[in-house]
Amino acid sequence: MTNKIAIFELEMAYYKMLRFVKKYIFWLFFLFPFLGVSQNVERIDSLNAKLSKLAINDSNRIELYNQLGWEYRKSEPDSTILYAERAIALTKRLNSDRGIAKPLNYIGIGYHYKGDNVKSFEYYNKALEEAEIHNDSSQYAHALNSLGRLHLNQGDFLKSYDTYFKALKIFEAIDDWDGVSYCYKSLAELYQTQNNYEKALEMSEKSFQIRIESGNIRGQISILIEIAGIYEQIENFDKAFDHYLQAKVKAESIDDKINIANIDLGISKLYYSEAKYDEALIFGLKAFRAVSSTRNMDLRGQIELQLGKVYFEQREYERSKDFLEKVIEDSDKTQDLSLQRDAYYYLSEIAANQNDVTASYNAFLKYTELNHALDNAEVARTIERLEARFEIEKKNQENEVLKAQQARDEAIIERQQIQNIALTVIIFVVSSLLVFIWVMSRKRRADNLKLREKNEEIAAQREEISRQNDQINTQNEKLQKRNADLAQLNQEKDTLMNIVAHDLKSPFNRIKGITELLKLSGLNEEQKNYNELLKDISQSGIDLIRDLLDVNSFEDDSRKMDITKVDACDMLLTKAKYFYADAKSKNIEIVTDIKDAHAYLHTDETYLSRILDNLISNAIKFSNRDSKVVLGAARKENNVLVFIQDSGPGFNEEDKKNLYKKFTKLSAQPTAGESSNGLGLAIVKTLVDRLNGEIKLETGGGGGSKFTLTFPVGVEAKSSSRIEV
């Protein structure tokens, strides 16, 4: 047992040294393997929703298929190929070969992410051919850029560099700045493989500036993370941290949870590299919380590994074990052997620190087993890349031979085509001339026929219009006669009302005068009561006649208002004295609530006086005995406010609907048997409107009423004595 432990400790020391040597290679290839891994789920859902609303042969589906293929390229490349093939099929079904280059490029990208570089090379070349046929410079350049990435992946750096620059020149020539940005990003990756970090930063900065100008937020985030990674490789941690923070601000602005988690993980690794484990833990936990709401298992596994490593350095072994075991569980689903390998390494270290030799040994065996598997996989990938590179070179040579043969065939065909074209042109010109003469002759006959039909149609329409005009004129004459009859009837009604009102007014005045004389004749108490009743009845008749005459008078817009300067406060005080006797008869106190000494406005004094008379009279009529009526006036900004508040029963909701209608009886009744003809408030509303004012009622059933009047102060005209209200 002792010998086994000694051997185990020697193996542990060897692998620690080996891990130290491989540290920088590990950071280079595994620092950001997760960038952009997951598809944008919300974007995909949105595209699928749009797709479901379109008909099966709608041409708009082509671009939606392409966009869906692009979104799936990293997470599900088979779906990229599927949607791109659907785009091609629909394009052909619609008899349009234009636009095929783009989905061909996407199929190449799909095979690239699947690891089938030969197929990828084949489809990129097909995209080049299609783009060249249809003069699609943008897709031609995109295909070149993708081929450059393929050459870079095969280790052919010179071809990769040349291809990138060809694509860059085309993108610049057509002002496709998104394409230029992609080329700069590709060149940055190329320079990183050559450890030329200065040029890599230069290319990345150029790409970043373009994406800022175009407003491509996601593209900006991607470049900022890449720049941070470059600075981290050259151990400029301050600048790396600064670029991570810039990327995080932008990612949070669009709520990009995946990139937020990526960035927090990157910052955590920065702090880990500087042995600042508390800070590394904070950002690691942030990343873990951000990724928990997503379905990105690859990214979650890397964050869990980072937290396991941080807790290990802080000697919190149980927490470290929890996260490392989660890594193993999640990586079983994603088949990420590198994460499993590292998790077992730290589990072995934890067990060793806890003096659990058996557990440490078992974990270390798993670590070595996975490490060998990864080494074998790397060798297999290298062989596969070499085979793919050989296959690509072979296809390139075949393409050159085919192109040379095609050029010879095309030259022969071109000569034959020129001869055929010349003959065809002659035949076509003669035939066209004959056809043109025949078509023009036929068209002229058809046009003449249409013109004749149109003229007949116009003549019929004119007759119909003339008939309708006659009907309209007849109707207008009838309407004019009816309007004239109505106007005459209305005039006769007004005249009759005025005659009747004046004829009735005189008897009522005489009756009222007689009652005044009877007062002086020494009547007994009963006679006095009858005399007073007779006086009240005659006064009610006089008031009714006055209101009827006023309604007609005030509704006549031809009457010009006599605008003068009026003091609302002074007028209210005058009205309080005028109605004192009426209020006293019911033991009602008239209270004046006047906050300003004066409240001047330019208005028609007669109208304003009549408004106040009606409102104060109503307030006294409808207030209970032994109560009070409040009169108030004040100036507020460019308006004068006047209010009259009573202690009556108030108005219900039904009353409010009919408040200002003529001859309308409301639910509230005068409290001492006074008469009410239903015209008072109608007159008030008419006069308030004539004075450009507003009237507002505040009431609660059973709690009194308050009428508030608002009038503009008005401005005196300079050129005349007239006043503008």
What pLDDT sits at residue 131?
87
Give me the mean pLDDT over the 9-30 stretch: 37
Number of domain units in the chain: 2
Give me the mean pLDDT over the 2-9 stretch: 38
Give me the mean pLDDT over the 399-422 stretch: 70
Is residue 311 within 8 A of residue 323, CB to CB? The reply is: yes
489-521 burial code (b ≥16 CB/10 A, e <16): eeeeeeeeeeeebeeebeebeebbeebeebeee
User: Would residue 260 count as lying in a domain?
Assistant: no
User: 663 versus 341: which is more confidently predicted?
Assistant: 341
Helix (H, G, I), strand (E, B) or coil at 630: strand
How does pLDDT run across 145-158, given as a tens digit for each residue?
A: 888 888 887 777 88
Give dist(CA 579, CA 572) in Å, integer: 11
User: Would residue 504 count as lying in a domain?
Assistant: no
User: 293 versus 352: which is more confidently predicted?
Assistant: 352
Is residue 182 within 8 A of residue 170, CB to CB? The reply is: no
Cα dist from 236 to 79, 233, 274, whole Å: 40, 8, 11
How does pLDDT run across 262-275, given as a tens digit for each residue?
A: 888 989 998 998 89
What pLDDT sits at residue 643?
93
Whether the pLDDT of residue 720 is over 50: the answer is no
What pLDDT sits at residue 24?
35
- What is the residue range of 76's domain? 38-156
Q: Which of 258, 337, 257 is nearest to 305 (CA)?
A: 337
Whether the pLDDT of residue 725 is over 70: the answer is no
Q: Which of the four pLDDT bands, split at 50, 70 and 90, describes residue 423?
A: confident
Give the chain's mean pLDDT. Answer: 79
**Lowest mean per-residue pLDDT among 35-49, 118-132, 249-263, 278-292:** 35-49
Query: What does DSSP assign to residue 719?
Result: S
Whether the pLDDT of residue 38 is over 50: the answer is no
How does pLDDT run across 597-633, given as a tens digit for each residue?
A: 888 999 988 889 889 988 998 888 888 888 899 999 9
User: 100 versus 673: which is more confidently predicted?
Assistant: 100
Q: Which of the four pLDDT bands, split at 50, 70 and 90, describes residue 678?
A: low
User: Would residue 672 count as lying in a domain?
Assistant: yes
User: Would residue 404 count as lying in a domain?
Assistant: no
Looking at 156, 182, 210, the residue that finishes a domain is 156
**Residues constituting the chain:** 725
Backbone phi, psi, residue 521, to 5°: -95, 10
How does pLDDT run across 439-469, given as a tens digit for each residue?
A: 888 888 888 888 888 888 898 888 889 888 8
User: Would residue 506 count as lying in a domain?
Assistant: no
What pLDDT sits at residue 392?
56
What pLDDT sits at residue 510?
73
Give dist(CA 568, CA 170) in Å, integer: 83
Whether the pLDDT of residue 344 is over 50: the answer is yes
Whether the pLDDT of residue 366 is over 80: the answer is yes
For the chain, helix, strand, coil in percent to 5 are 75, 5, 20
Give me the mean pLDDT over the 493-505 stretch: 65
| pTM of this structure | 0.43
What pLDDT sits at residue 457?
86
Q: Which of the four pLDDT bands, split at 50, 70 and 90, describes residue 538?
A: confident
Give dist(CA 137, CA 705) in Å, integer: 82
Q: Which of the four pLDDT bands, split at 50, 70 and 90, describes residue 590?
A: very high
User: Would residue 314 count as lying in a domain?
Assistant: no
Percent of the chain with pLDDT over 70: 78
User: 73 versus 495: which is more confidently predicted?
Assistant: 73
Give me the mean pLDDT over the 279-286 stretch: 91
Give dist(CA 561, CA 318) in Å, integer: 95
What pLDDT sits at residue 282?
92
Cα dist from 591 to 141, 594, 630, 686, whole Å: 92, 10, 5, 27
Whether the pLDDT of residue 525 is over 90: the answer is no
Q: Within 13 Å of residue 479, how many CA atoms lie on the same side as its CB?
A: 6
First to last CA, the chain: 113
Whether the pLDDT of residue 386 is over 50: the answer is no
What pLDDT sits at residue 629?
92
| Burial grade of 287 (CB within 10 A; 0-12, 13-18, 19 or more) | buried
Cα dist from 454 to 450, 458, 601, whole Å: 6, 6, 69
What pLDDT sits at residue 18?
36
Give me the mean pLDDT over the 511-515 stretch: 78
- The CATH number linked to 63 is 1.25.40.10
What pLDDT sits at residue 2?
38
What pLDDT sits at residue 173?
92
User: Would residue 54 count as lying in a domain?
Assistant: yes
What pLDDT sits at residue 567?
92
Cα dist from 158 to 108, 163, 190, 388, 390, whole Å: 21, 9, 10, 17, 16
- The CATH number linked to 608 is 3.30.565.10
The residues facing 629 across adjacent strands are 590
Q: Which of the four pLDDT bands, split at 50, 70 and 90, describes residue 313?
A: very high
Looking at 113, 134, 156, the residue that finishes a domain is 156
What pLDDT sits at residue 478?
85
Whether the pLDDT of residue 192 is over 90: the answer is no
What pLDDT sits at residue 541?
67
What pLDDT sits at residue 13?
43
Of the spans 40-44, 46-50, 717-721, which averages the highest pLDDT? 46-50
Q: Which residues contact 230 (CB under 8 A, 6 or more apart)?
A: 188, 192, 197, 200, 201, 204
**Lowest mean per-residue pLDDT among 12-16, 346-350, 375-379:** 12-16
Q: Which of the four pLDDT bands, split at 50, 70 and 90, describes residue 717?
A: very low
User: Would residue 131 count as lying in a domain?
Assistant: yes
Give dist(CA 595, CA 635) in Å, integer: 9
Looking at 113, 138, 156, the residue that finishes a domain is 156
